[in-house]
Amino acid sequence: MRYTFSTEWTETAREIAKQLRFDHIELDRIACVRSQGSKTRNVIARVHTMGKVLQLGMNQKPCYVIELLSERFEKQGREQQIKTLIHELLHIPHSFGGGFRHHKPYVNIRTVEEEFKKLSAAQLALL
């Protein structure tokens, strides 16, 4: 696996969180990386965080990294890429404490579509 930091997608994810008023997300504590070489078949993106013991041991606040699996993510159209980012951002809980929201009942296609509709055409052009 190879990982590279993505300034473009980090800025886009932060802008999406800002536009959708995901105020619980500390924008400077989220980032996106591109990965290449994953053996997984169905994953397009995933979100990572440091476990609580690492946060405490390293005296760090929680942070989240969205991994974009390049082989699949880059094949998507721009609209679907934005929906993928929304999906991953929805996994970040309101506590922003280093945990995750599970798919049921909150992170699902319906919720992603609702949030996507909140972004106007003008906002999408900026992303």
Q: What is the mean pLDDT of each run of 10 residues along the chain (127 residues)?
A: 96 95 96 92 92 89 95 94 97 91 89 90 62
pLDDT given at position 76 = 95
pLDDT given at position 125 = 62
CA distance 11 to 115: 18
pLDDT given at position 80 = 95
**How many structural domains compose the chain?**
1
CB atoms within 10 A of CB 46: 15
pLDDT given at position 8 = 96
Q: What is the pTM of this model?
A: 0.91
Alpha carbon distance, N-terminus to C-terminus of the chain: 27
What's the domain range around 6?
A: 2-126
CATH code for the domain of 50: 3.30.2010
- Which candidate, 92, 50, 68, places its Cα nearest to that of 12? 68
pLDDT given at position 24 = 96
pLDDT given at position 97 = 86
- Contact criterion met (CB below 8 Å) for 67 and 33: yes
Report which secondary-structure segment, H or E, holds 48. strand 45-49
pLDDT given at position 32 = 98
CA distance 55 to 87: 24
pLDDT given at position 52 = 85
